[in-house]
Amino acid sequence: MSARRRMSRGLVGRRLAIVDGTTTWMDCALALRFIGPSATLVDGHALAEYERAFARFVGVRHAVSFASGRVGLYGLLHALGVHPGDEVLLQVPTHVVVANAIRYTGAHPSYVDCRLDNYNMDLAEAERRITPRTKVMLLQHTFGIPAEVDAAAELAARHGIELVEDCVHALGATYAGRQVGTFGRAAFFSTEETKTISSTMGGMIVTDDDELERSIRRFQQRCLRPSRWLTRRYLLKLVAYHVLTQPRLYRFVRVLYEVGGRRNPLPSATSRDETRGRRPVRYEQRLSNAQAAVAMRQLLRLGENLAHRRMIASDYAAQLVSFGLRIPVPPAEADPAFVRYPVWVDDREAARRAVLPFAVLGTWFTSVLEEAEDPSLLEYELGSCPRAESAAAHLVNLPTHQRVNANWKLMFDNIKDPYHASVLHVIVSQLPSVAHVMSQL
């Protein structure tokens, strides 16, 4: 049997999932300890320690935690004086929950088209959409690729509007040597299950503004404590995702997950109400102490996490360029922290079929407002952002987490040393039949 055929047979069924890959067995052990009888499941010292550590990492004075990034954004907009009738600039593609947080304040989302080189906000288009009612510009660092924050800060200052960075994809990314999240009046992050670190759900607001921090902290104190029942479900989900997204299991688990649909017993990151633009019950909630403790473990090893993601992204770029595929082009001064690696393909379904034996392609974003049942329910006008709509029809995204590498060490008869490879190395370099398909995309 040829080396190539042995390798192909060995890889079939080892599908790398987009989700998870950031947690460890020790994270799971900590989560399970909290699931048992624990007086510190919801409240405890880990919350304050995590907030302080997060602020130190980003390089700001203050960090305030919430049950999710969207709740933090909602509180931040209130603290910035956003009122009914005001407008907030945000780019598409983005997620439905970002637009919802704006709408729940009574303000209107003003959608701005993206650039097609890195899927971040088109600042020239943003300036054209500024009106006397515009109060805030949300600058999204899409896929962890920093936007042109210096130009955005200058634009916001010139028009007297607040700049808020959307860093939910971008923990650890830098621009001109500075962490993203330090360029605007404030920024928000997410530690939801698909992000750079995971507490299943969770978010953080960061700022250097003392008065703004006090206002956000007052909002946090008004938020509901998470129930012990919900906190335990989040912790169980973290453990379940760590186990079930192991490459040897995921091919089977994915089928069950899709068949189960909304009967999945694990808590969903986005509620049915949110997909329809409606405000869910118990929207304003805090982060639990147990989730903070789990996130803190991951924050302490974030440097290793980021270095791995950058290495994998570099590998992807080198391979994909040789096949003529369109890859992102970050700004010159940006050092991305790719939470996923976006690739433009002509036929998304063909790409999915080609890669399926080896990895599950992510589909951020299949809509200008990801997970929205109908973007028009959130005041989006079809055709108003044509580049974002095109991106939503053509983007796939590849995993960058730490399982991508460890499971792809291969030995060939004609190679003495192990072949240390990422998913796309294997696909485009070693499997000519798949390489041919990919080259046609």
Q: Are the CB atoms for 10 and 332 separated by under 8 Å?
A: no
Contact 149, 165 (CB under 8 A): yes
**CATH fold for domain 3-17+302-439:** Aspartate Aminotransferase, domain 1 (3.90.1150)
By C-alpha distance, which of 431, 258, 275 is closest to 360? 258
Residues with Cβ within 8 Å of residue 196, at least 6 apart in sequence? 22, 144, 169, 171, 172, 302, 305, 306, 309, 337, 339
- pLDDT mean by block of 10 residues, the chain; 441 residues: 39 62 92 90 96 98 97 98 97 97 97 96 97 98 97 97 98 96 97 94 97 98 95 94 79 66 71 92 96 97 94 87 84 95 88 76 89 94 96 91 60 29 42 35 37
CA distance linking residue 284 with residue 75, whole number of Å: 9
Beta bridge partners of 395: 344
pLDDT of residue 15: 66
Identify the pLDDT of residue 323.
74
Q: Are strands 162-166 and 134-140 parallel, antiparallel or unpaired?
A: parallel
Contact 435, 402 (CB under 8 A): no
Bridge partners of residue 163, in order along the sequence: 137
Residues of the chain with CATH 3.40.640.10: 26-222
Asked if the peptide bond before residue 93 counts as cis, ω within 30 degrees of 0, the response is: yes
pLDDT of residue 258: 63
Question: Taking each helix axis from N to C terminus, what angle separates 69-79 and 96-104, rounded to the nearest 10 degrees?
Answer: 30
Q: Where in the chain is the domain with CATH 3.90.1150.10?
A: 3-17+302-439
pLDDT score of 261: 57
| 164: CB partners within 8 A, 6+ apart | 73, 76, 80, 136, 137, 138, 139, 184, 185, 186, 187, 188
How confident is the model at residue 247, as a pLDDT? 73
Instruction: Determine the pLDDT at residue 410.
Output: 31
Distances (CA, A) of 83 to 76, 108, 362: 12, 10, 36
Measuring CA to CA, how many Å separate 49 from each of 46, 55, 62, 190, 319? 5, 10, 12, 17, 41
Cα–Cα distance measured from residue 312 to residue 318, given in angstroms and rounded to the nearest whole number: 10
pLDDT of residue 421: 36
pLDDT at 405: 67
Question: pLDDT tens-digit profile of 28-78?
Answer: 999 999 998 888 999 999 999 999 999 999 999 999 999 999 999 999 999
**pLDDT, tens digit, for every residue of 138-153?**
999 999 999 999 999 9
In this prediction the pTM is 0.87
Task: Give the domain 26-222 fold.
Answer: Aspartate Aminotransferase; domain 2 (3.40.640)
Task: Provide the CA 136 distance to its chain's centre, in angstroms.
Answer: 22
Q: H/E/C letters for each residue in the chain? A: CCHHHHHHHHHCCCCECCCCCCCCHHHHHHHHHHHCCCCCCCCCHHHHHHHHHHHHHHCCCEEEEECCHHHHHHHHHHHCCCCCCCEEEEECCEEHHHHHHHHHCCCEEEEECECCCCCCECHHHHHHCCCCCEEEEEEECHHHCCCCHHHHHHHHHHHCCEEEEECCCCCCCEECCEECCCCCCEEEEECCCCCCCCCCCCEEEEECCHHHHHHHHHHHHHCECCCHHHHHHHHHHHHHHHHHCCHHHHHHHHHHHHHHHHHCCCCCCCCHHHHCCCCCCCCCECCCHHHHHHHHHHHHCHHHHHHHHHHHHHHHHHHHHHCCCECCCCCCCEECCCCEEEEECCCHHHHHHHHCCCECCECCCCCCEECCCCHHHHCCCCCCCHHHHHHHHHEEEEECCCHHHHCCEECCCCCCCCEECCHHHHHHHHCHHHHHHHHCC
